[in-house]
Structures are given as structure tokens and as C-alpha cells.
């Protein structure tokens, strides 16, 4: 199960850690773009030192209620950071975007993975991903980020998430994305309540029948706040538990904020699985 990300080959039957690098204005409190680029690079360097195999660079917040940004603004936020990290660091740069122009530009600047929380549903996204030629993470979402948490409804969340992902794989392949370049993500918190999220996590291994590596993101999410009663900046232990469970259930990538601690947790999970 080897996958190549812009020339970097990784064995996806093991679990890798992806560090989150948001480059939205609220992520770095200082003023100008150059300071923000420096701050992003500093953070990226630290995540690589801490053992991240991927850095996920995103310029548009996907939180419920977040405002949309223009294509130009997203390009301006994301491209300099993708370029600088790709040039300097030994890591796979992932671009967190649903915008075809950002996918194309970021890959031309060195990104090795497209992470699309809208599963290539925006006009032109599937063909841009196909032309880019790098692996793509296709995530399940019910609705749009602005409204997805209003009242999500499923008859059978695992079946419906599986069907949606299979359908999006077919669309991507038809557009020219290689099936061997597709990673799937059940989309924790994207149009799901706590019960839906827990059902999905409890049955995560069943999504392997789709035949693609899995990416999982639960770090600091509100589902963990609902379980523990903790505020967002107090959810490290809960996030580590979620990453460990995901790794034990065969996730190929866990997307997290706390790289150093998660790398240790995933190493323990991997050692246990390899001892069987």
C-alpha cells in the first residue's frame, strides 16, 4: 500500500501524522503577510521536528458559520506558504482546499496532496485534481460548512457515508484521478452529531472495504468537548485517545494540532499492532 506524494513514497498501511497549519488571518495575530509567512514556516519546522509526515496548509476556515474567502485571497494566503515549506522542509505538503485554482497552483509549487473537505464537488475541482496528478483526500460532508451542523440526519450513518464516498470515488475516477491516488475520510464533525461521530469511529475499520487508505481528523473537535466537557484548548488527552483509536483501526493518516504528542501515541499503537 505505497503511495507517492510528489516524489515522496509512504507506506499507507502504517499510520502517519498530519499537522494542521491554518493560514487564515485569525491564526497568526501579527500584522503583515511577511510576518505571517515567517510564523507559518516556524510552525511548520517545529511540526517536522516533532515527526509530522504531512503538513496540511489551509487558507479558508471550514468551521460552521465561517465566512467564504475569494479565490484570490485564498491563493494569496496559501501559495507562499506551500512554496516555502516545499522548498525548505522534508515533508509532504497537503493543500486544504476545495477551490480548483488553489489546487492547481499549490501543486505546481510543490504540494503533494490535495485535501478537499467538499469531496471535489465544486465546479472544476475533479478535473483540476486529475490534472494535478497527486493523491487526493475525498472527505464526506453532509451539507455545506456554513450550515452542516444545523440538524444532520441519517438513517444509517456508516452506510450513507460509505455510499457517498464510493460515489465521489466514481466521479473522481471518471474525471481522470487515478483510483490508486484516492484517500477517503469519513469527515468527523462535518454534518454529524455526537452519536453519528461515535458510530463512525466505532466502525471505522469497516470503511476499509472501499479499498482506499483512510484519513481521520478529530483533533480538538467539538465531539471531544461534548464527551469530556472540556474547552477547545484543553482537549489534548481526548485528541490523543481519538488518534490512538484511529491508528488501531487502521487509519493511514491522522490530522492533528498537537504533532509531538500524537506521534508518540501513534508509535505506541503501531508497536502494539505490529506485535500481533
Q: Where do contacts with ligand 9MG occur on this chain (CB under 6 A)?
A: 58, 62, 96, 115, 117, 137, 139, 185, 187-188, 215, 217, 255
Query: All 3 cell numbers of residue 40?
Result: 507559518
CB of 8 to ligand 9MG, least distance (A): 18
Is 109 or 141 the residue whose CB approaches ligand 9MG more closely? 141
* Minimum gap (Å) between residue 133 Cβ and ligand 9MG: 19
Task: Tell me if 222 sits within 8 A of 180, measured CB to CB.
Answer: no
Q: Shortest approach of ligand 9MG to residue 142 CB, angstroms?
A: 13
Tell me whether residue 231 is exposed, middle or buried, using C-beta atoms within 10 angstroms of its C-beta: 0 to 12, 13 to 18, 19 or more.
exposed
What does the alpha-carbon distance between residue 138 and residue 184 come to, in Å, rounded to a whole number? 5
Residue nearest to ligand 9MG (CB): 217
Contact in structure between 84 and 47 (CB atoms under 8 Å): no
CB 236, min distance to ligand 9MG, A: 17
Q: Given the complex with ligand 9MG, which of 84 and 165 has the nearer CB atom? A: 165
Check: CB of residue 261 under 8 Å from CB of residue 17.
no
Q: Which is nearer to ligand 9MG, 84 or 137 (CB)?
A: 137
CB nearer ligand 9MG, residue 65 or residue 87: 65
DSSP 180: G
d(CA 70, CA 25): 14
Q: How many helices (H) and strands (E) does the chain have?
A: 9, 10
Q: How far is the CB of 115 from ligand 9MG (least distance, A)?
A: 5
Query: Closest Cα partner for 11 from 246, 224, 213?
Result: 213
Which residues are known catalytic residues? 221, 255
Q: How many CA atoms lie within 13 A of 63 on its CB side?
A: 11
| Residue with smaller CB distance to ligand 9MG, 24 or 62 | 62
Amino acid at each position: 500500500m505505497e503511495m507517492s506524494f510528489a516524489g515522496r513514497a509512504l507506506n499507507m498501511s502504517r499510520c502517519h501524522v498530519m499537522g494542521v497549519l491554518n493560514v487564515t488571518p485569525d491564526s497568526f495575530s501579527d500584522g503583515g503577510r511577511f510576518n505571517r509567512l515567517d510564523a507559518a514556516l516556524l510552525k511548520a519546522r517545529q511540526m517536522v521536528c516533532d515527526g509530522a509526515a504531512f503538513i496540511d496548509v489551509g487558507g479558508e476556515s471550514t468551521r460552521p458559520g465561517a465566512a467564504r474567502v475569494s479565490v484570490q485571497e485564498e491563493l494569496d494566503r496559501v501559495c507562499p506558504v506551500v512554496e516555502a515549506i516545499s522548498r525548505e522542509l522534508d515533508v509532504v505538503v497537503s493543500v486544504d482546499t476545495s477551490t480548483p485554482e488553489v489546487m492547481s497552483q499549490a501543486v505546481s509549487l510543490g504540494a503533494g496532496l490535495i485535501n478537499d473537505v467538499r469531496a471535489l464537488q465544486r465546479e472544476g475541482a475533479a478535473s483540476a485534481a486529475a490534472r494535478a496528478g497527486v493523491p487526493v483526500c475525498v472527505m464526506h460532508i453532509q451539507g455545506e460548512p456554513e450550515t452542516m451542523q444545523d440538524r444532520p440526519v441519517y438513517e444509517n450513518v456508516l452506510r450513507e457515508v460509505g455510499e457517498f464516498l464510493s460515489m465521489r470515488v466514481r466521479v473522481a475516477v471518471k474525471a481522470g484521478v487515478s483510483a490508486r491516488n484516492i484517500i477517503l475520510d469519513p469527515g468527523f464533525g462535518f454534518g454529524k452529531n455526537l452519536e453519528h461521530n461515535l458510530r463512525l469511529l466505532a466502525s471505522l475499520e469497516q470503511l476499509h472495504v472501499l479499498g482506499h487508505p483512510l484519513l481521520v481528523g478529530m483533533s480538538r473537535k467539538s465531539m471531544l468537548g461534548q464527551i469530556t466537557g472540556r474547552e477547545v484548548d484543553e482537549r489534548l488527552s481526548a485528541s490523543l485517545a481519538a488518534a490512538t483509536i484511529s491508528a488501531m483501526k487502521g487509519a493511514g493518516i491522522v490530522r492533528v494540532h498537537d504533532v509531538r504528542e500524537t506521534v508518540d501515541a501513534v508509535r505506541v499503537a503501531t508497536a502494539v499492532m505490529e506485535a500481533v
